[in-house]
Amino acid sequence: MRKRFMQLAAVLLAMTLCVPTVWAARTNGSGDVKIRVGLASSSSHNDTGELACAHLQNNTGYGAGYRFGYYDSDLDFVELGRTDESVTEVAVLKTQNMYYGYVASAGKYTYSDAITSDVAVGCYHIRIPGSYSTYEDAAADAAIFGGFVAWIDGAYQVRVGAYLSREGAEGALATMEQGTIVGTSSYGVNVVETGTDRILFQFDGGASQALGILPDVTGADDVRTWFVGFKYRGGFTYQRVGGGNLTVVNVVELEDYVKGVVCYEMGREWPLDALKAQAICARTYALKRLNYHGSLGFDVCNTDYCQVYRGAGSNRIDYGPSAVSDRAVEETAGEVLWYKNTLADTFFSSSHGGASESAYYIWGTSMEKYPYLCGVTDPYEETIADKNSYSSWTVTYSASALAKRLQGYGYGTNTSIDHLELTYSELGNVIKVKVAYANGQSNTITPRTSPGIRSAFGVNSIRFTVNGQTVQEGSGSKPAAGGGCAVNGTGSLSSLEGLYSISGSGTTEKAGEDLYVISGTGKTSKLEEGSGSNENTGGTNQGGGTVTVSGSSYVFTGSGWGHQVGMSQYGANAMARLGFSYDEIVEFYFPGTQVGDYQ
């Protein structure tokens, strides 16, 4: 890979880096890696909760009709039945009495258990005796009796009617020559033609099996289907987890999933290499979290708790995948980020404001296990500060307003604030705030506490000063005398003895006596033992230390937005504009990692 910059930490780690040539991911029978994305569930991390009714609509021109079945353990679709292509809208309902009409709380026409019209799908049916080995055989008899095909516990049945009460079913049965009254378990679902009481297919696979729907029966090349305002590729599953309402999952090929993430997590028209860096992070993140939400039947959710995913977009031409965002995914297809022989945890946030931070300070992460989640000085964001609304921000409180805010979290009741004591990391981020009160009590707030620093003080990042006060010269942590050479601003080498360098072509040679370092801003300086660059590249209070602040008001002045771990998206934007390639970008933000294929 082409390299335009080299940092000593990356050089040393590269000498022991080992990227595997084969990695076993979950693949279907065609060799495609597929991802299960939760679109609606009981998890608080899905914007759409469980549904009593879930609608699907074919995207005109991108397929028509539906296939019914289930997905096996390899995520191969097993077809059990299908509609013809004239059916373009279906609704999946839990098997209870459901009525079709306008539901004010939903703001649309849908099915619910409230009586909104005389279009009703009841939960009592008449089963026609007999067994069927194929869908075609069952469908033929269903047509004769005016019924529908059901797949119950692994076997086809023919059922007639959808009655609201057992008495209604008994009355209908009295006019027939044969049949028994049946229902389903609390895991059953009906597929109906939207707006009607016509059941197209009924499915009950018990607690462990979900109905699968694969849109299109025409063989269209690029199938897309509408669900809750967005178009999605791939298929869907519907499961009543715990016997409740429906959990809806999109089963989609990995690269299509990544296309549905990159344009929403990063500007859809951003520089190509920035979008490629985002694609590497998104793809690696998903593969790292297969079955992360397994108890709910999916791998990842569709919000920023995991990664924002909106499929193939909506009707807005300025929102969703673009030519350049799709190109970024296609040109990095199959590439992920490795740390030695393990997929890296590719966290990212909007902007760092001058430096990312060690995941240890943010989440308590073991740096021995995840050394690449260290903080790095980031000089690039500031080159596009005019494009980032969070490059500079201010939050102001009177002393009483701040005390009241903290009291809302249970801190400092019936007292006032005496002062704040802020502790800075070596990279200039606030990693601890001690709030001292007039009554002698105190609270300590860190990024790990609940609430953390950002929530407690209502700030966008942990990179800030209060009332303009900075760490005094000499109060921050410094390398011990003769303590070595600074590495990435967070570590050091005890000596230059025995140091080797690696060229961009991969050749190694012993480092000479006169070594120079190049900072991210292009500044060069001679490297001496016991010294390092003290260049402040946009951060505050680099070098660590503490600051005590008091007064009648507290003005928080800072930069950045997000949790501060891993890749800065605005930093990636800036690096791409400066000519860095996507692999250089991600390897800069995750020191010691390397981009490579996952298969």
Note the pLDDT of residue 541: 73
- Cα separation, 453 vs 460, whole angstroms: 10
The single-letter DSSP state of residue 151 is E
Residue 494: inside a domain, yes or no? Answer: no
Q: Do 75 and 132 share a domain, yes or no? A: yes
- Cα separation, 320 vs 420, whole angstroms: 44
Phi then psi dihedrals of residue 382, to 5 deg:
-65, -15
At 190-214, the pLDDT tens digits run 999 999 999 999 999 999 999 999 9
Q: Do 212 and 281 share a domain, yes or no? A: no
The pTM for the full model equals 0.84
Q: What is the mean pLDDT of residues 223-246?
A: 97
Note the pLDDT of residue 503: 44
Residue with more model confidence, 316 or 487: 316
Q: How confident is the model at residue 540 (pLDDT cuts 50, 70, 90)?
A: low
- The answer to whether residues 393 and 558 touch, using CB atoms and an 8 Å cutoff, is yes
Q: Do 233 and 261 share a domain, yes or no? A: no
- Cα separation, 391 vs 56, whole angstroms: 42
Residue 30 vs residues 26, 33, 74, 398: alpha-carbon distances, Å: 11, 9, 10, 63
- The answer to whether residues 250 and 232 touch, using CB atoms and an 8 Å cutoff, is yes
Q: Do 382 and 393 share a domain, yes or no? A: no
Q: How confident is the model at residue 472 (pLDDT cuts 50, 70, 90)?
A: confident
Q: How confident is the model at residue 599 (pLDDT cuts 50, 70, 90)?
A: confident
Q: How confident is the model at residue 475 (pLDDT cuts 50, 70, 90)?
A: low
Residue 496: inside a domain, yes or no? Answer: no
Residue 535: inside a domain, yes or no? Answer: no
Note the pLDDT of residue 348: 97
Note the pLDDT of residue 366: 94
Note the pLDDT of residue 32: 84
Residue 29: inside a domain, yes or no? Answer: no
Q: Do 369 and 412 share a domain, yes or no? A: no
Residue 6: inside a domain, yes or no? Answer: no
pLDDT exceeds 70 at position 234 = yes
Beta strands in 22-141 (DSSP E): 34-40, 53-58, 66-71, 77-82, 89-94, 98-103, 108-112, 120-121, 124-132
- Would you call the peptide bond into 451 cis, given omega within 30 degrees of 0 as the criterion? yes
pLDDT exceeds 60 at position 528 = no
At 277-298, the pLDDT tens digits run 999 999 999 999 999 999 999 9
- Asked which of 245, 269, 298 is the last residue of a domain, the reply is 245
- Cα separation, 236 vs 577, whole angstroms: 39
Phi then psi dihedrals of residue 199, to 5 deg:
-80, 125
Strands 567-568 and 348-349: parallel
Q: Do 179 and 320 share a domain, yes or no? A: no
CA atoms within 13 A on the CB side of 529: 9
Q: Do 162 and 301 share a domain, yes or no? A: no
Residue with more model confidence, 443 or 500: 443
Residue with more model confidence, 510 or 205: 205
Give the number of other Cβ atoms within 10 Å of residue 422's Cβ.
22
Residue with more model confidence, 110 or 540: 110
Residue 30: inside a domain, yes or no? Answer: no
272-288 helix and 254-265 helix, angle to the nearest 10 degrees: 120
At 21-64, the pLDDT tens digits run 223 456 766 678 999 999 999 999 999 999 999 999 999 999 99
Q: How confident is the model at residue 543 (pLDDT cuts 50, 70, 90)?
A: confident
Q: Do 61 and 160 share a domain, yes or no? A: yes
Q: Which range marks the domain in which residue 194 is found? A: 51-245
Q: Do 407 and 377 share a domain, yes or no? A: no
Q: How confident is the model at residue 542 (pLDDT cuts 50, 70, 90)?
A: confident
Note the pLDDT of residue 14: 31
- Cα separation, 523 vs 360, whole angstroms: 30
Note the pLDDT of residue 183: 95
Residue 168: inside a domain, yes or no? Answer: yes
pLDDT exceeds 50 at position 539 = no
Q: Do 223 and 282 share a domain, yes or no? A: no
Residue 529: inside a domain, yes or no? Answer: no
Q: What is the mean pLDDT of residues 526-555?
A: 66
272-288 helix and 582-589 helix, angle to the nearest 10 degrees: 50
Task: Point out the least confidently predicted range of 73-82, 251-260, 389-398, 498-507.
Answer: 498-507
- How many folded domains does the chain comprise? 3
pLDDT exceeds 50 at position 529 = no
- The answer to whether residues 543 and 478 touch, using CB atoms and an 8 Å cutoff, is yes
pLDDT exceeds 60 at position 476 = no
Q: What is the mean pLDDT of residues 235-240?
A: 98
- The proportion of the chain whose per-residue pLDDT surpasses 90, expressed as a percent, equals 81
pLDDT exceeds 60 at position 425 = yes
Mean pLDDT of the chain: 87
pLDDT exceeds 70 at position 20 = no
Q: Do 301 and 216 share a domain, yes or no? A: no
- The answer to whether residues 359 and 372 touch, using CB atoms and an 8 Å cutoff, is no
Q: Do 294 and 372 share a domain, yes or no? A: yes
Q: What is the mean pLDDT of residues 263-278?
A: 97
